[in-house]
Amino acid sequence: MDPMLIVIAVLAVLTLVGGLWLVSGRRRRGQAPPEVSAHKPLDRDQALPTAGPEGVGERPGSPGEAPGAGEGAGGAVATLERPESIPGRMQRLRARLAGSGGFGKAVLSVLSRGDLSESDWEEIEDTLLTSDLGVEVTMELMDGLRTQAKVLGTSDPEAIRGVLRSGLLELVDPAMDRSLNLTRPAPAEGADLPAGAAPAAAILMVGVNGTGKTTTCGKLARVLVAQDKAVVMGAADTFRAAAAEQLSTWGQRVGVEVVRSEREGADPASVAFDAVRAAAGQGADVVLIDTAGRLQNKAGLMDELGKIKRVMGKIAPVGEILLVLDATTGQNGMRQAQVFSEAVGVTGIVLTKLDGTAKGGIVVTVQRELGVPVKLVGLGEGADDLAPFDPEGFVDALLA
């Protein structure tokens, strides 16, 4: 045989054996061959995980983790989620309202006993006072109940229920306008806007630490997306390290851009301004601004909130300032509400955690004290557990 052919054959065999050895070695070390991607993209029908409590991710990809935590290294993007529609939210959340304080049910059970003694009336009064209604509101409701009981008697449970329902509904005040102001404003004089751009409706979220502002901001973005609104969010909480990442993850899930600063401790007013300007440039309908939690007795921090509002106003007036309150704080939340209202002029309340231990009467008290309506309520930790407040549904749940 030709010596040259023998050499060629030997080299071919060695090359084949070497290649097999290399692939086998990679597999033993858990590596993929060069031609195969080491990351499998998310299935297009696979939704990102549901949200956990604020600042806590339940598993990779949940709010609270860095953007892209649920994506492959190759840049595979999960399918955008479809937020639940408003009618669907209302139907599902009405049932949960039944857990938001049972004072209506407790009062109804006493009224249904028949001939009421003075101790029965005292029991009703005590129940109302411990439900966060406040002394003034309790006395007002008690006077109405006593008067109607004398007129109608207390032997007809349905009549009694109707009287109580009417009294509670009047206190909750269904005539209040609970719609969000989403009208796009005219630009401020001298506004620094791109040619032809129009400002988006601006919503500023404020409140103390721990009420769930960032989570509520993300959930509100979902509500607006479900209404086919184009939304931009601004991460003006520049002091909490995870806040911008958390808000970005909420935005990624529904295709909402988040304007943020890469520098921790950046001027929050500057971030808010950039977000409002970016929203106008993109033709967005609404811009949501998340702010850092602040104690109501810290004058410097409250002044900073006023600065954020003023700087945003250089583009266009802020149409909605929503105060996020934890419903479980009860009367303790009233001082918070008053100070924030004085600082920035609150236009609406978002009550979070209005389930479980919340007593429900805070709805009446905060509206009475501030003269502004409860516009949204949160009744759980799910991504779509935020809905417009329904006065009649709330009262009926109390009496269910």
To the nearest 10°, report the CA torsion of 213, 218, 223, 226.
170
Does the annotation list 114 as a binding residue?
no
Beta bridge partner(s), residue 321: 204
Measured in residues, the chain has a length of 400
Picking from 62, 53, 67, the residue whose alpha carbon sits closest to that of residue 262 is 67
Place of tokens 């231990």: 357
Does the annotation list 40 as a binding residue?
no
Does the annotation list 355 as a binding residue?
yes
Picking from 367, 81, 79, 380, the residue whose alpha carbon sits closest to that of residue 212 is 380
DSSP 233: E
Tokens read off for 310: 């003023």
Q: How far apart are CA 391 and CA 363, in angstroms?
A: 10
- H/E stretch holding 24 reads helix 3-28
Does the annotation list 208 as a binding residue?
yes
Q: How far apart are CA 228 and CA 239, in angstroms?
A: 32
Cβ atoms of 39 and 72 within 8 Å: the answer is yes
Does the annotation list 211 as a binding residue?
yes
Beta bridge partner(s), residue 377: 351, 387
Does the annotation list 64 as a binding residue?
no
Does the annotation list 291 as a binding residue?
yes
Does the annotation list 207 as a binding residue?
yes
Tokens read off for 235: 């991460």
Specify the 3-state DSSP secondary structure of 11. Answer: helix
Does the annotation list 213 as a binding residue?
yes
Q: How far apart are CA 294 and CA 367, in angstroms?
A: 22
In the chain, the amino acid numbered 14 is L
Does the annotation list 210 as a binding residue?
yes
Distance of CA 229 to the CA centre of its chain: 16
Does the annotation list 352 as a binding residue?
yes
Residue numbers belonging to the annotated binding site for GTP: 207-214, 290-294, 352-355
- Which residues make up each annotated binding site? 207-214, 290-294, 352-355
